[in-house]
Structure formats: C-alpha cells, structure tokens
Amino acid sequence: MAAVFISYRSTDHAEAERLAVDLRGHGHQVWLDTWELRPGDSVVQKMDDGLAAAQYLVLCYSTNSTRSPWQSREWMSALHRQVSGKGVKLLPVILAGGEAPAILADIKHVDLGADWAEGVRALAAAMK
C-alpha cells in the first residue's frame, strides 16, 4: 500500500475525488485535501505533512489547471524531493485536456480522459 497525495485544481474536484476513491479501492492510502482538512487546521501545515508522508504525488491536470499557484507549489515540492532522492515519485495524470508544465514533459503521464478504467489500472500498477 502506497501513500498517495493527489494534487488538483479545485475546478477538477469531482474527478480528483473519483480518482482518490478508485486508488483507495486498489489499497492505497490517499491524501485528498477535502478528506484531510478540518475547520481550524492550518492548510499549509496539513499540506506539508501530506506531502512529506507521500511516496507518490499524483498531479492531475486539465484545461482547468493552468496557473494554479497551490498546485504549482505541490508539484514543485514533489519534483524537488524526487530529484533530491527523498522518496517521492511524481505521476502526472491528464483528466481532460491540458498540458503538464514543460519541466515535466519527459515524465510519462496517464490519460484518464482517454480511458478512465485503464488509466487507473496503469496508475495503480505504477505504485507497486
């Protein structure tokens, strides 16, 4: 079972939550902001804790994902940890259209828009 942090734009919440449920169904421990944040919590601290514990950061992007400051901080933190050898792997996921940031172009992505079930299987297999 892997610890997975799901990074997404709030406009893609329904798809991100569907993905989180599917990954839990594959036995993974999933961190999704709406599942983890409670009234009075420090958003920054909870996100930092979730990122620090994650083995995988699933970066969901779509045509809605352009220029999200929070999402950019999440994937940049994960990329830094990955490059530094600190045990996190970045897994880009296309929800519906959109493009990954140029610096991530060489990382193979999963396209859930093309075939959701097959994409989830591929993503879960990458986490073994």
Catalytic residue set = 74
47 Cβ contact list (under 8 Å, min separation 6): 33, 70, 74
Q: Residue 114 pLDDT > 80, yes or no?
A: yes
Which contiguous run of DSSP H or E holds residue 94? strand 89-96
Q: CATH number for the domain including 70?
A: 3.40.50.10140
Q: Give the total number of structural domains in the chain.
A: 1
Q: What is the pLDDT of residue 96?
A: 81
66 Cβ contact list (under 8 Å, min separation 6): 98
Question: What does the pLDDT average to over 101-107?
Answer: 77
Higher pLDDT, 22 or 89: 22
Residue 76 lies in domain: 3-126
Q: Residue 104 pLDDT > 90, yes or no?
A: no
